[in-house]
């Protein structure tokens, strides 16, 4: 009888071994995962707020909330943009990627992204720089993660947020923070 068949009682290695789970704060783990994973990561990494000891690229700033206190090198899908560059380049931060300015900060690229957004969702009622920031946030998420659903939120690393906010500042100095979408119960 073949190994693993109903009449085979011989020992089979690794049959019931638990799957290895890496620490949520490890660099090999994708910090930008699903909501439940990120919420667990946030609880374990509350220490990150108010400092930048966690930064690996030397371009992050201290952030006010944990969801924004992560480096581009910690989010697999973000860092793959750098790793997949051809030819390989010695880049320490996603904001130094040759396509970053053109894709995420360029006002004409953001204007086109805004027109696409308007076509699908209607116009935004915001000030010019706020529109640019919103479109830049969407651009970086699309570039790194592809198309995500309407209720899917992905964290944006501190270095990227800082580059966007520096290019399109809010002159009052206040910015919208990362927040989860409001989930609607279809049975109510």
- Would you call 164 exposed, middle or buried from its count of C-beta atoms within 10 A (0-12, 13-18, 19+)? buried
Report if residue 73 sits inside a domain: yes
Task: Determine whether 140 is exposed, middle or buried from the number of CB atoms within 10 Å of its CB (0-12, 13-18, 19+).
Answer: buried
Q: Tell me if 181 is assigned to some domain.
A: no
pTM over 0.95: no
- Residue 67 in any domain: the answer is yes
Is residue 41 within 8 A of residue 25, CB to CB? The reply is: yes
pLDDT-derived band at 149 (thresholds 50, 70, 90) equals confident
Whole-number percent of the chain with pLDDT over 70? 76
Measured CA angle at 94 (ends 91, 160), to 5 deg: 145
- The total domain count for the chain is 1
Residue 67, domain extent: 35-167
Decide if 108 is inside a domain: yes
Of 63 and 18, which is predicted with more confidence?
63
């Amino acid at each position: 009888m073949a190994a693993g068949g109903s009449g085979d009682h011989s020992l089979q290695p690794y049959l019931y071994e638990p799957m290895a789970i890496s620490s949520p704060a490890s660099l090999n783990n994708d910090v930008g995962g699903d909501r439940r994973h990120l919420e667990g990561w946030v609880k374990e990494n509350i220490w990150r707020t108010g400092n930048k000891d966690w930064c690996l690229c030397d371009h992050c700033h201290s952030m006010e909330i944990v969801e924004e206190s992560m480096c581009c090198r910690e989010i697999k899908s973000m860092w793959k943009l750098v790793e997949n560059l051809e030819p390989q380049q010695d880049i320490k931060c996603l904001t130094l990627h040759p396509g970053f300015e053109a894709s995420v900060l360029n006002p004409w690229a953001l204007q086109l992204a805004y027109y696409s957004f308007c076509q699908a969702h209607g116009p935004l009622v915001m000030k010019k720089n706020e529109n640019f920031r919103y479109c830049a946030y969407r651009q970086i998420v699309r570039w790194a993660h592809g198309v995500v659903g309407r209720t899917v939120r992905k964290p944006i690393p501190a270095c990227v947020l800082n580059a966007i906010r520096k290019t399109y500042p809010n002159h009052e100095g206040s910015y919208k923070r990362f927040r989860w979408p409001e989930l609607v119960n279809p049975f109510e």
